[in-house]
Structure 1
């Protein structure tokens, strides 16, 4: 890891490389996530990945890569190979400022995107490519005040009738430390979304958010936020529409015991979708981790998401639930075994009935000892 104290710029160069390989076998009683005609199948997924971290006193860099290869026993049309590459670069021209550039590339399918895996494309493994770049600049104006300016460009392409879109925008943030354990933040943001629809839909989203974080106790960290947004959309064929709304958020991190941590977060977001429309999503995430012993850990990951239309454009509302309890056994320093049960449920407001999926997953992971190179 990066170590800076007590070293000259010429000496301060540390690099680490960590790699892993895993094999997951799964059984799902509704691989299509459909309301009717459920089909069960077994699958295997091989994952290869590596992480690189390094830097100097003025430069930091990290690279993350993942390569997934998924095969189904009976429904071979669902086989896929997915790639994910993430790069984070930072440069500090002075003690008070930092320039950053984050780049992300995903080449996957709609079945591996929780927003797009809706069961409406049964046994249609739709390829999706997403590229995102986020430049940023931050400045420590005073001992307690920080400013940051960030830009964003994201493009998503589907090999299907789903709607490609481009999103670009930016945000200006101010953070003020109230005390050593609490801070106040304000963010002004704006974005334009250009959807590749037959009528050339263009949407603008902008707003203002306020947030407060506080470490109430050494075991409890809280976060609260509220914001307002305005969204406008127009096409070549239909007169423009506009609407306003609120963006609430809240979260907590609670150390239940020295070996157990609970995290709970809620947020409302406004974002484009593969249907070509702007949607509003309310998301609640729950994460629980507990070390049962030195080698065994228990976990729970759960999510509830309600999606609704922002404009009167025919977008269907969707309720979605996912819960995944798990147990992990660290057999050695390099080998681990994880067993999990995954439950999924969803319902659309333009359909009768709902979809339910139950899956069992077992994952074997090998992580060799990391390599490091110091200057």
Structure 2
């Protein structure tokens, strides 16, 4: 009930100060998976049944200051495997204030979900460019649930036509209903950064940043470092970046380590195509109770075949290597996705998605695979195009 209650509170507080746009979305369909928990051969759990996803977006209509909040619930019903049924709750929100010389953003996310979703992320999950998915370790033995919060305010200011400064911070926390050592344990991360740069053109900039983090898993780990980034904004919906840096990671117990960090990617939009491509190398905590160095590649491509038919392809590949001494094995995880949407009416559409998952730990004799698909109907009563 937290997401719906918070949404109602926020809307009530702002209703008198801004014009609001409300955009509901209702999806219902049938899901099948031949290995829902991505277990090893011989232990697979296959599920089939109904899935519903209901959300509503409230957003202000203002050219300078915007606020948006979306509470959403995802529910599944598997008649032959009722123990796998779940109601998962999500809330995303964001505030931004933009002028010609400064930009202030405060994104926030919350989720209360089953570990089959939190530990095996989909293609669409994760942040924007240079913001990789965090926290999953792919390890679970029994049914469990996770609460996850993340807030990340940022501030940019153009000191002059040539120079720019920025400040940013973030805090995330994951709490599990049950603590399972080596599989699901509470963790948190807090970090801050400060940068200074110069504009190489009206749309491009080079920035130098200092960053600091503290990770808390079964022990505390401090990290300090710096990075250099080039970024450019081709259009309101198209941009790219390249980043390289290093940080010193110092666990409370054990020896320190120097880690290379960085990333490169871009997002581009045209009349009929939308492409997102991002590769990152980062350090952060995971639910197995440790800190890892993560290589991650994310890809999404949407292509409008016609005004009514769209195709989608996506992939996520990651590799985790433990930073501090411990027992967490190197993990490799991948998911590929193919999908379509046929909009036979402005407010109604038919969707279909196929997913292939693969995971491997270096200490296990074999890898794990899963196939799943979803077919459903989407209703968007406020859709205008």
Q: TM-score range by the shorter chain?
A: 0.7 to 0.9
* Conservation of the 8 A alpha-carbon contact between 1:33 and 1:118: no
Q: Which residue of 2 aligns with 1:5?
A: none
Q: Which residue of 2 aligns with 1:71?
A: 77
Correspondence 1:93-172 to 2 at 5 A: 96-113=101-118, 114=120, 120-122=139-141, 124-160=142-178, 161=180, 162-172=184-194
Q: Which residue of 1 aligns with 2:201?
A: 179
Correspondence 1:188-227 to 2 at 5 A: 188-195=210-217, 197=218, 201-214=219-232, 222-227=240-245
* Conservation of the 8 A alpha-carbon contact between 2:188 and 2:285: no
TM-score where L is the length of structure 2: 0.83
Counterparts of 2:275 and 2:62, CA distance in 1: 35
* Conservation of the 8 A alpha-carbon contact between 2:153 and 2:170: yes
Distance 1:354 1:152, change over 3 A: same
Q: Which residue of 2 aligns with 1:241?
A: 255
SS at match of 2:109: strand
Give the unaligned 5+ runs of structure 1: 1-10
Counterparts of 2:224 and 2:207, CA distance in 1: 17
Distance 1:266 1:152, change over 3 A: same
Q: Which residue of 2 aligns with 1:87?
A: 93
Q: Which residue of 1 aligns with 2:129?
A: none
Distance 1:145 1:55, change over 3 A: farther
Q: Which residue of 1 aligns with 2:19?
A: 14
* Conservation of the 8 A alpha-carbon contact between 1:29 and 1:359: yes
Counterparts of 1:323 and 1:212, CA distance in 2: 29
Distance 1:277 1:327, change over 3 A: same
* Structure 1 residue 166: Cα displacement: 2.5
Distance 1:362 1:265, change over 3 A: same
Superposition RMSD in Å: 2.8
Counterparts of 1:362 and 1:219, CA distance in 2: 29
Counterparts of 2:105 and 2:275, CA distance in 1: 31
* Structure 1 residue 121: Cα displacement: 2.6
Of residues 66-75 and 140-149 in structure 1, the stretch that sits farther from structure 2 once superposed is: 140-149
Counterparts of 2:274 and 2:103, CA distance in 1: 32
Distance 1:175 1:157, change over 3 A: same
Correspondence 1:344-359 to 2 at 5 A: 344-359=357-372
* Structure 1 residue 120: Cα displacement: 4.2
Q: Which residue of 1 aligns with 2:297?
A: 284
Distance 1:299 1:208, change over 3 A: same
Of residues 37-46 and 218-227 in structure 1, the stretch that sits farther from structure 2 once superposed is: 218-227
Superposed CA deviations along residues 136-168 of structure 1, whole A, max 9, x for unmatched, are 433221124332222222221011212112222
Superposed CA deviations along residues 75-113 of structure 1, whole A, max 9, x for unmatched, are 211111111112222457x87445543332211121112
Counterparts of 2:307 and 2:100, CA distance in 1: 41
- The reply on whether 1:43 has 2:49 as its aligned counterpart is yes
* Structure 1 residue 206: Cα displacement: 2.2
Give the unaligned 5+ runs of structure 2: 1-15, 122-134
Of residues 362-371 and 203-212 in structure 1, the stretch that sits farther from structure 2 once superposed is: 362-371
Q: Which residue of 1 aligns with 2:125?
A: none
* Structure 1 residue 261: Cα displacement: 3.8
Counterparts of 1:325 and 1:56, CA distance in 2: 36
Distance 1:72 1:186, change over 3 A: farther
Distance 1:261 1:168, change over 3 A: closer
* Conservation of the 8 A alpha-carbon contact between 2:255 and 2:324: yes
Superposed CA deviations along residues 272-306 of structure 1, whole A, max 9, x for unmatched, are 01111001111111211211111001110111111
Question: Which protein has the larger Cα radius of gyration, Structure 1 or Structure 2?
Answer: 1
TM-score where L is the length of structure 1: 0.85
